[in-house]
Chains A and B, each alone.
Chain A
C-alpha cells in the first residue's frame, strides 16, 4: 500500500485535474442554456441583436466545449491510474453511471453540436433551434449523471457490500436518486448559470465602458444582471437547503464548514478563525453567539454536533473546508448584492450609465467560477477521510503507485495544463475582448474550430 504522502499527492492530482476540467463543463452548461434563450428570443421577437449575441457566444462555446472534452479524457482514466482500489471496489456502481455520462455526451456530440455550430443557414430556423435545445439539454444530462455519481459517493444507498469489500448495486433508482442528489444537482446547475451570467455580464460591461451605445453589449449586460438578480438569491436558498441536507447525512462536514469543535445547543456563527486540527480548537475566533444554530436548525438553541463527537481519524481537514466555505459564501453574497443593487439602479434607469456598476461587474468576471471551485472544495474535502462516505476510506482507495510516480505525473500535468489551457483561455479572452457587432458572423468555416464529436461543417452541408 502506498504511503500517506503518495495518497496526498494522488488527491492533489485529482483535485488539480478536475479543478481545471470542471471550469469548462460548467461554462458549457451555463452557456448552452444562455444560447438557447438567445435563439429563442430571436425567434420570438425577430430582433437582430439576439442573433448577433448568439453568433458572438457560440464561438466561445465551441472553444470551451473542446477544452472540456480534452480535459475530460484525462478524468476517464484517472480513476484507474491513481485510484485503482476505488475503481475495483466501487466500480460496479460508479462505473455504469459514468458510462452513461460518456454515452450521453458522445451521442450529443455526434449528432447535434455540428448543427448548432455550423448549420444555421442549412437546416432552417426551427430545426436549428431544436438542435440548440438538445445541446443545452444534453449538457444538463451530462451534469445529471456526474452529480448523481458524486452524490452517491457522499450519501451512498441502494448497494450491498460483499464479504471481500466490494460494492454491488441493489437498486439503481436508489443509487441514482440518492438523498443528497436533489440538493447538489440544482445547487451545481444554478452555480453554472451564475458563473456564466457574471462572465457574460463582465464582457458586456467591458464593452459598455468603451462604447455605451453598443446594443449587443447593452443587451447581454442587462440579461446578465437579470440573471444575477433572480438566480443569486435563489442560489442562497438552495444552498441553505443543501446545507441542511448535509447536516442530516454528513454532520462532520457541516461541523468543519462551521468550525464547531464542541457539541452544544446554541452554536455560534464563526466568522473568522484559524482552525487547529491537532489541538482540536479554533485560534483567533470571532463569532456571533447562537446564529449558527439559528441558520442550521432555524432555532436559537438547536443542537449541532461538533467535531469532537467524531474520532480524530474520521474528521475532514477542517481549515480547508472552513475557509473554502467562507470563500464560497462571500462570493455568493457578493453576487446577490450585485443582483439586487443592479435592480435598484435598473429602476432608476442607470445600469447602462453607471460606470462603477460596470467596473464592478468586470472585476466579478471570475466570481462564479471561483465560487464553484470553492464549493467543490467544501464538498469533496469535507467528505474526507472517505471516498465513499463512511464506508470506504481514501487511504484504502489508491493505486499502489509510489510517491515518485505520482509526483512526476502531477508535475507533468501541471506543466501541460498551464501551457495548454492557459493558451486556450488566452484565446477565449482575445475572442471576447472584441466587441459584438451588428451582423456578427458565425463560426468560421475556414478554420477547423471544432469541438468534440463528429461535427459536419458548413462546407459539407453545402455539398449535400
Chain B
C-alpha cells in the first residue's frame, strides 16, 4: 500500500497543520478583531464600513479552522481525541461564538428595525469576543499541559481554567483587537482611520505587555520549556525571537507616527508569527504537551499518505486563490461605495 517511506510523514503533517492554524490565526484574527472593536465604535455608518471591510474574506478565513480541526482528526486522531475533551467547554463556547458572529454578518444587513439591527450587532461583537477569548484559553490550556492516561483525557472539568489560561485569553482578545485596528488603518480612511490609529497605539502597548507576560510565564510551567528558552543550545534558536519582536515594535510605532497605511498591520501580523514560532519552539516535539509527541499522535502512514496527496494539490490552490481574492479586494472601503480603488 501507498505509504511514502522516505518521508517523515508525521513531521510533514505537523508542519501543514501548523501552517493551517497560523493561517487561521492571522486571517480570522483581524476579522474577529474588527468584531471586538464594535465595543468602541458605536456609530452605525462606521460599523457598516468595518463589516464591509472584512465581508468578502471572513468566511474564507474561517474555513482554515475547519481545515485545522478536520486535518487534526484525519492525521493526528490521538491529539484530536484528547485535546477536544480536555478543552470541552472552551471549544463548544468558541463554536457557538463563531456561529453567532457568522450569521450576524448576513443578518445585520437584513434586519428591518433598528432594534433588530442592534441585536445582531451585539451578536457580532459578543460572538467575536467569545471566540477570541476561547482561542486564547485553548492555547493556554494546551501549553500548560493536558493529562492523558490510556490514550484518553484524564483531567478534570475545569483544568483549563487557571490564571495562566485567563492571561492567554485576554492576550488573544487584545492581540486580535490590535490586528483589527491595524487592518482598519490599512483599509479605511477619514475619521474612522484616525480613531483606529489611536486605538492601535494603546492596543500595541497592551499587546506587547501581554506577550511579555505570557512569554515569561510559559517557561515556568514546565522545566522543559525553561531549558529550551534559556539553556544552550536552545537559546541560539530562541534569542532571535524577542529581538525580532522589538525590531517590529520599532517599525510599528514608526509606521503609526508617519501615518503609513500597511506597516502597522504588517508588524502586528509579524508579532503573531513570532509568537507562533515561539510556541513551536516551546512545544516541539510534543503534539499534546507534556506527554504525547508528534509521532505518537500520528495516524498510521497509510492514512497520512492518503490525505497528503489531496493536500499537496489542494492547499497550494487554495492559498493561491486566497492571495488572488485579497488582491481583488485591495483598496479603501468607504461608506457609500462599499469598495473602491
Chain A interfacial positions (CB closer than 8 Å to B): 63, 66-67, 69-74, 76-77, 79-81, 84-85, 87-88, 91-96, 98-104, 106-107, 109-111, 168-172, 399-402, 405, 408-409, 412-413, 416, 420, 423-424, 427, 445-457, 459-461, 463-464
Whether B107 is near chain A, meaning CB under 8 Å from some CB there, is yes
Mark out the residues of chain B between 79 and 120 whose CB falls within 8 Å of any chain A CB in the assembled complex. Answer: 80-85, 88-89, 91-92, 95-96, 98-100, 102-103, 105-107, 109-110
Instruction: Say whether B240 faces chain A, with CB atoms less than 8 Å apart.
Output: no
Give chain B nearest CB distance to A42 CB in angstroms: 27
- Which of B185-193, B260-268, B321-329 binds A? B321-329
- Whether the Cβ atoms of A88 and B81 lie closer than 8 Å is yes
Stretch at the interface among B166-174, B176-184, B212-220, B300-308: B300-308
Q: Assess whether B88 is in contact with A424, with CB atoms less than 8 Å apart.
A: no
A107 & B317 in contact (Cβ 8 Å cutoff): yes
B145 within 8 A of A: no
Collect the chain A residues with CB atoms within 8 Å of residue B55's CB: 448, 450
A75 to chain B, nearest CB (A): 9
Is residue B341 contacting chain A, with contact meaning CB distance below 8 A?
yes
Whether B59 pairs with A450 at a CB distance below 8 angstroms is: yes
Decide: B154 and A96 in contact? CB cutoff 8 A. no
B127 to nearest A CB, angstroms? 10
Verify A92–B302 contact, CB threshold 8 A.
yes
Contacts of B310 in A (CB 8 A): 99-100, 103
Docked-complex contact B83 and A80, CB < 8 angstroms: yes
B interface size (C-beta, 8 A): 72
Q: Are A84 and B66 in contact (CB under 8 A)?
A: no
**Could you tell me if A103 and B311 are in contact, using CB atoms closer than 8 angstroms?**
yes
What is B's interface to A at a CB cutoff of 8 Å? 1, 51-52, 55-57, 59-60, 62-63, 65-67, 69-75, 77-78, 80-85, 88-89, 91-92, 95-96, 98-100, 102-103, 105-107, 109-110, 151-154, 157, 299-300, 302-303, 306-307, 310-311, 314-315, 317-318, 321-322, 325, 328-329, 331, 337-341
Are B92 and A81 neighbours in the complex by a CB distance under 8 Å? yes
Q: Are A463 and B341 in contact (CB under 8 A)?
A: yes
Closest CB in chain B relative to A371 CB, distance in Å: 27
**Is A109 in contact with B329, judged by CB distance below 8 angstroms?**
no
Q: What separation, in Å, do the CA atoms of A85 and B154 have in the docked complex? A: 12
Give 18 A-B contacts (CB < 8 Å), ordered by A residue. A73-B95, A88-B152, A91-B299, A92-B300, A95-B77, A96-B299, A102-B71, A107-B314, A168-B300, A402-B157, A409-B89, A420-B100, A427-B110, A451-B59, A454-B56, A454-B325, A456-B329, A460-B339
A106 and B63 in contact, given A170-B1, A416-B96, A464-B328 (Cβ under 8 angstroms)? yes
With a CB–CB cut-off of 8 A, which chain B residues contact A169? 1, 300, 302-303, 306
Closest 10 CB pairs of A and B: A91-B77, A80-B84, A448-B55, A454-B60, A95-B74, A99-B74, A88-B81, A84-B81, A399-B85, A102-B70
* A95 contacts across to B, CB distance below 8 A: 70, 73-75, 77, 80, 299, 303, 307
CA of A168 to CA of B77, assembled, Å: 12
Task: Closest B residue to A445 by CB, please name it.
Answer: B338
A102/B66 contact (C-beta < 8 A), A73-B95, A93-B303, A456-B329 known? yes
Task: Assess whether A459 is in contact with B100, with CB atoms less than 8 Å apart.
Answer: no
A397 to chain B, nearest CB (A): 10
Max chain B C-beta neighbours (<10 A), residue from A95, A171, A447: A95
Find chain B residues with CB under 8 A from A67 CB.
103
Name the CB-closest residue of B to A90: B77
Query: Whole-angstrom distance between the alpha carbons of A447 and B60 in the complex?
Result: 17
For the complex, give the distance between the alpha carbons of A460 and B327 in Å: 10
Tell whether, in the assembled complex, residue A88 and residue B95 are in contact, meaning their CB atoms are under 8 Å apart: no
Q: By the criterion CB–CB under 8 Å, are B152 and A400 in contact?
A: yes
Cβ A423 vs Cβ B157 within 8 A: no
**A66 in contact with B322 (CB, 8 Å):** no
- Contact check, A84 vs B85: say whether CB atoms are below 8 A apart: yes
A347 to B99 alpha-carbon distance, docked (Å): 48
CA distance A459 to B169 in the complex (A): 37
Q: In whole angstroms, how far apart are the Cα atoms of A259 and B107 in the complex?
A: 46
Report if A100-B338 is in contact (Cβ < 8 Å); known contacts: A70-B102, A427-B110.
Answer: no
Report whether B60 and A401 are in contact in the complex, using a CB–CB cutoff of 8 Å: no
> Are A463 and B328 also in contact (CB < 8 A) when A99-B74, A99-B310, A102-B67 are?
yes
B325 partner residues in chain A, CB cutoff 8 A:
110, 454, 456
Docked-complex contact B66 and A72, CB < 8 angstroms: yes
Min CB distance, A3 to chain B, in Å?
A: 15
Closest Cβ neighbor of B104 among chain A residues: A420
A401 close to B88 (CB less than 8 A): yes
Instruction: Kindly name the residue among A93, A427, A451, A454 whose own CB sees the greatest number of chain B CB atoms within 10 A.
Output: A454
B151 and A399 contacting across the interface, CB-CB below 8 Å: no
A76 CB contacts on chain B under 8 angstroms:
66, 69-70, 73
